[in-house]
Chains A and B, each alone.
Chain A
Amino acid sequence: MEKIVEGSTRAFLTGNETIAWASLVAGAEFMFGYPITPQNEIMHYWTRLAPKYGRGFLQTEDEISAGFTVCGAVQGGKKAFTATAGPGNVLMQEPFGMAEAMRLPMVAIIQQRGGPSSGTVIYSQQEVNLTTFGGNGEGYRIVYSTASHQELYDYTIKAFNTAWTYRFPTFILGDGYQAKMREPLELYDPQEKGITLAESFPLVGLPGVIGENRQPQHLNNIYSLEEELYEKVMTFSAVFEKISPEIVEYEEDSCEGADIILISHGVVSRAARDAMLILRSQGIKAGYFRPVTLRPFPDEALKKVILQSNAKKALIAESSYGQLTRLIKQSIYGETINIDTLYKPGVGIVDYDIINKVKSIL
């Protein structure tokens, strides 16, 4: 593959530009998309960059077809992706469901905006439910929630690798702030950093003759018999549970001996970490925990952190009304830690908000 980034370059980009560059260096071959704010510039930059490097782009008639064309392209062995937000994310759940049913290694970037419905075009963390568990039936997917442009770059590269290594649809969950803001990051060639890019492979049109020297490839998203579906779902869940420990990621800081653990994800975790440091400097023993993968969720890690910290309280901060809390509660079922919450649906959270809340409950 042609070198796109030589060595390592410091750059000052928007998050959407960052994702276009990351997809390029990750070896993405095709993007299918339909415009929606705040992800539009991923498409714009991709269409500018793609022709220079022999990659492709198709704007489809809507999000449903954007998702399904990705499903088709990955079956043909192409590293393909899409990006969307808000109501577009709702429409794409149908193709995402197909990707779950057929275990298609598709990658989707979600830049969360406010909802319900058209909501705002700006920012939220309100697409957690939809992105982690938005499919009908019980399918399996991997969701990385990023917090900085460096992470957008690192995890977009990783998303293609995860998808093509484990064959589950993989998501980058960003938001409007990450999409639109500019901040410095380091662009690099993944292979120079020792990151092996997973090979893509066709899932259909395989060599050989069915019945003579190979079995048919059944990529089903519909079954005639309920028992067939049952078998599939049970197999997928067993596979997903087995690989989850390899995929799960989180950040933890200063939880040991903490009186209160601040839990957040995505861009809010930046404010939470600052809040933790400021509280510590004021003599309040705060700890910090952040799931990076929202699915699979770092259940064991969080339970262990709570147990070892001896903290009596946790504060969950999110730019939504309880979507992260739901994931946490189901994850730490049985723990007796008290949970307080700071919900600011559709608006940003700064360190000051978290510090004030902590002081009001401690």
Chain B
Amino acid sequence: MLLTRIALAGEGGQGVQSVAEIIAEAAFNEGKQTIYIPNFGIEQRGGVSIAFIQVSDTRIGAPKFDKADVIVALSDRSIARTAVFSDNNTLFVYDSASQVNQEDFPKEARKIIGIPAIETANDELHPRVFNIIIMGAVLGLSKVVSFTAAKDALVYKLGHKFANDADLKELNFKALEIGRQLGEKALQKEGEVNA
């Protein structure tokens, strides 16, 4: 697998850092080289929070990158904020419920894809698993880690919560699966086969 670079961005509290950590942990457990770095400036006290993930089979260089393969922007503001990381090879994903000015979208992208993550979470599942739908979507879009490894890492991270609530575990797994399908569907629309 070549180097895959993913940027996840959202408002503080949307859980992008948790999701990034779980994905990176899953990649590590699969024996891959991986770097996860949060942006941890004072914007974490109210502003756009960005997580940078890189996964590769070989040694990874700089901890941050200028252009991403996949960008997931979960809030209105984070779309404008992450547009700079997009170029012609980038899948730029946003929540279709976002209220966005057209000029905030990246000028260059392989494809700009809206997925109904917030709507799906609210209508079909539960708002609290919104970020897990996003995590599933990242897997569907990038195949950066296997679904099994992602599930294991999710259990490892949230096991203490699942222990007292079996339904919560099922809810999370369901969210992950639905997210994956959303991601895969978005790619199919593009008529592309995943690497």
Contacts and interface: CB of A to CB of B under 8 A. Distances in A.
Interface of A: 12, 37-38, 120-122, 176-178, 180-184, 267-268, 270-271, 273-274, 348-353
Given A184-B28, A184-B33, A37 B61 contact: no
B30 to A, nearest CB: 11
A274 B62 CA distance: 9
Contact of B42 (A121, A274, A348): A121
Contacts of B65: 350
Nearest to A181: B37
Given A122-B39, A182-B36, A182-B37, A177 B64 contact: yes
Q: Which of B21, B24, B33, B64 has the most CB of A within 10 A?
A: B64
Contacts of B47: none
Given A182-B21, A182-B36, A184-B28, A122 B62 contact: no
A181 B61 contact: no
Contacts, number: 66
Contacts of B35: 181-183
A114 to B, nearest CB: 10
A176 to B, nearest CB: 8
A274 B33 CA distance: 15
Given A12-B24, A182-B24, A267 B37 contact: no
Contacts of B38: 180
27 contacts: A12-B24, A12-B25, A12-B28, A37-B40, A38-B40, A121-B40, A121-B41, A122-B41, A177-B37, A177-B63, A181-B36, A181-B37, A182-B21, A182-B34, A182-B36, A182-B37, A183-B33, A183-B35, A183-B60, A184-B28, A267-B63, A268-B62, A270-B62, A348-B63, A350-B61, A350-B62, A351-B61
B189 to A, nearest CB: 30
B66 interface: yes
